[in-house]
Chain A
């Protein structure tokens, strides 16, 4: 079973490498935003609040091995 998982992981890595190299053929795409056109030092916050609301605790039992 371990070898099956190892083979699958190996194949996945090989496929990823091939697709990364393929992506170098594409260089044309729309820009996501306008980050290069932000005026330097123009960012000013008038409100920056982080207000605590509530908390939740989840607990999961640790399986015990039968001896």
Chain B
């Protein structure tokens, strides 16, 4: 007959049928029984397909004369392009430290919607670097003694900020365990549940950096920025600082924003599934609505340092002071310490074993 629905056993995958004796659905292959309500719940609306779409019209046009005096500086070494007013100027690339030259007058780019002005100055950045190096085991001593800050630069980094409302529909299998034993056997009873969570979650100002030259992991590491300090962009804020030009469009940044939002929906919904010894996700569908993007400039202090012919890049959030940057490893010190810790722990473990044995 056409139009018949197949009901699959969640235990063994066989086709389950109505059992008149128990008035439940029963699997003839594994003898599992399910209430009608449980079967209806399992068959309830198939998860809708993922659908994430955005309105990416962000930024505005510059007012006539607003870009007067702003120059583009290009680095022949790494291809970086930064913007500075002619009074501030720029002599070296914030990303690779090589000289930059003026290659043109700035115009035509999008005007940012908002900017978070610098709250912390260059001295604070130097202070934070010293703190960052303090107390780090396995950091080569020579790095702390000999490294010199080549340049510290205040750079306004272009970001796309994404707002969205997310609808999620996620299905899980939950297992509750009960254990007991008698004189002959140990028993484990596992009860299986079909768990469903459907709901919505709103996001605001999810940042994705709009510069391909600024390492994404470095920019994400100095998050979060506090949006409440964001103000309407005025050219005056750039005075004394550099500004990176965006070369990653909002459309190109969407995937990253989508991924982070999707992960947060999955994590938040998962936190609501409690009381089980084991939870397995069986499927999810996430849709975004009212997605929109803004183009903003965020303040970042960039520090370049050179040691042992290697370049190290540090960044400090110019608003909150969060400081990040990977440091080199003294391999010999690391291996020596590992051997020492292992020896001490092994000796302690043997002493414990001796007293437990005697």
Which A residues contact B (CB, under 8 angstroms)?
Answer: 2-3, 5-7, 9-11, 13-15, 17-18, 21-22, 24-39, 42-62
Report the Cα distance A63→B32, complex, angstroms: 30
Residue numbers in B under 8 Å from A10 (CB-CB)? 342, 344-350
CA distance A5 to B184 in the complex (A): 30
Option from B174, B201, B352 in Cβ contact (under 8 Å) with A38: B201
Instruction: Please name the residue on chain A nearest to B181 by beta carbon.
Output: A62
Are A62 and B185 in touch, CB under 8 angstroms? yes
Give the complex CA separation of A67 and B193 in angstroms: 44
Cα of A19 to Cα of B303 in the assembled complex, Å: 27
Contacting B223 at CB < 8 Å: which of A22, A36, A46, A53? Answer: A36
26 contacts between A and B (CB under 8 A): A6-B352, A7-B346, A10-B344, A10-B346, A11-B345, A14-B338, A28-B215, A29-B221, A31-B221, A32-B263, A33-B267, A34-B203, A36-B223, A36-B224, A38-B264, A43-B199, A44-B200, A51-B41, A52-B35, A52-B38, A53-B192, A54-B32, A54-B34, A54-B191, A59-B186, A62-B186
Pick out which of these stretches binds chain A: B107-115, B134-142, B235-243: B134-142
Given contacts A3-B350, A10-B345, contact A47 B197 (CB under 8 A): yes
Q: Which of A2, A35, A45, A62 meets B199, CB within 8 Å?
A: A45
Instruction: List residues of chain A with CB within 8 A of the CB of B174.
Output: 50
Interface residues of B in 34-52 (CB under 8 A from A): 34-35, 37-38, 41-42
Number of interface residues of B (CB under 8 A): 83
B-side contacts of A24, CB under 8 Å:
136-137
B206 interface residue (CB < 8 Å to A): yes
A33 touches B260 (CB 8 A): yes
Question: Which residues of the partner chain B approach A49 to less than 8 Å between Cβ atoms?
Answer: 41, 194-196
Contacts A14-B341, A21-B138, A44-B200 hold; do A2 and B38 have CB atoms under 8 A apart? no
Residues of A within 8 A of B334 (CB): 18, 22
Query: Is B277 positioned at the interface, with any CB of A under 8 Å from its CB?
Result: no
How far is it, in angstroms, between the C-alpha of A52 and the C-alpha of B195 when the chains are bound? 9
Bound-state CA distance A51–B82 (Å) is 58
A36: which B residues are within 8 A, CB to CB?
223-224
| Nearest A residue to B32, CB-CB | A54
Q: Min CB distance, A3 to chain B, in Å?
A: 6
Determine if B149 is an interface residue (Cβ-Cβ < 8 Å): no
Is B183 positioned at the interface, with any CB of A under 8 Å from its CB? yes
Does B38 contact A53, Cβ atoms closer than 8 Å?
yes
Query: Within the assembled complex, what's the spacing in Å between the Cα atoms of A37 and B162?
Result: 10
Q: Does B96 contact A (CB under 8 A)?
A: no
A11 to B341, CA, bound (A): 8
Selected from B184, B223, B337, B348, the residue in CB contact (under 8 A) with A21 is B337
B145 within 8 A of A: no
Closest B residue to A36 by CB, please name it. Answer: B224
